Amino acid sequence: MTIPTLKQSSGSAHTRFLGFGASRGDLSVPNDDLVEPINSSDEWIQQRTGIISRTRASEGVLAVDMATDAAREAIQASGVDPVDIDLVVIATISNVQQSPSMAAVVADRVGANPAAAYDINAACAGYTYAVAQADALIRSGTAHYALVIGAEKLSDVVDPTDRSISFLLGDGAGAAVVGPSDTPGISPTVWGSDGSRADAVGMNSTLIDFREGRSEWPTLRQEGQTVFRWAVWEMAKVARQAIEDAGIAPSDLAAFVPHQANMRIIDEFAKQLGLPDSVVIARDIESTGNTSAASIPLATHRLLQGHPELSGGFALQIGFGAGLVFGAQIIVLP
């Protein structure tokens, strides 16, 4: 009896980014609007975080709505027909309706039905995780074009009286289309986690605690100094590894797009990496705030709008956050 050979899929040798889209919350919330409940000041927030204002979404606007708007812009910018998109991955920690997935709804809204669609939760590193999956699935032949989105409405999970993180957070969605390429456009991803320090940043209770009346609505909290030290020192090592694995040098970078966690972290991060002055650094946090999984694509979108000359250059993007997860890769900007 002849045993048939099992077929396996194979795809494009390389992938690249084809277009970006963005949707920020419709409200601009200055520091002065948040200081009274945390007994603080505009000056204190600016000095500690670099944030002047943050975007937040009105009550009737959901994360899935912002994800849809960002996705439509990214698809238009890419020139890809929505029917050719067969993978939609959304990184989010703030989908208040766990099922159905946000990705499945967005896929239908943008005309990509019946694309494979799922949400992932890797906190502020979620977008880099989604990029890694899109890259691998396209190169394996499992997908052909991917829509990758980071979408958050963090104002739904904020306690306005909390001084540890509430004043940092904003709402928005950033999207990108990834597709096949004749030349390399996405480097190997350096990713991982350190669950031993999971309590450093995360939710302060569970939905079961809330249901049973043992806690208020779960909201985000963080140990600021722990996260700061981890982000600056440990993530600099990850960034250096990503640069090395990509086969380039820091001087080859055109842009640095870190997770927009805190302006002090961004500045110290760049210092630790020894980036030359020629590297454009994304500082979208100043007016958007920390939008977790949405922050890297939002910052990239704004960077490309302000610096079109960066097109075709290398960008280092790195995400890090709750559960102390991290992911970094070098991309070629579209």
Question: Which position among 31, 95, 262, 290 bears the catalytic label?
Answer: 290
Question: Which position among 31, 124, 262, 301 bears the catalytic label?
Answer: 124
Residue labelled with tokens 């009286």: 161
Q: How many CB atoms lie within 10 A of CB 278?
A: 9
Residue labelled with tokens 């086969």: 247
DSSP assignment of 259-279:
--S-HHHHHHHHHHHT--TTS
Residues 297, 98 contacting (CB under 8 angstroms): no
Clarify whether 259 is annotated catalytic: yes
Residues 112, 82 contacting (CB under 8 angstroms): yes
Residue labelled with tokens 């306005």: 160
**Pair of tokens at residue 148:** 């990758």
**Pair of tokens at residue 311:** 């097109």
Question: Which position among 31, 259, 262, 301 bears the catalytic label?
Answer: 259
Residue 66: which of 55, 76, 79 has the closest Cα?
55
Clarify whether 124 is annotated catalytic: yes
DSSP assignment of 30-56:
EGGGTTTTTT--HHHHHHHH--SEEEE
- E runs forming strands in 10-109: 14-24, 27-30, 53-56, 87-91
d(CA 91, CA 131): 10
Residue 66, classed as helix, strand or coil, is helix
Residue 155, classed as helix, strand or coil, is helix
The alpha carbon torsion through 317, 286, 102, 219 (nearest 10 deg) reads: 110
The DSSP output letter for 82 is G
Clarify whether 204 is annotated catalytic: no
d(CA 153, CA 92): 9
- Give the amino acid at 11: G
Q: Could you list the active site residues?
A: 124, 259, 290
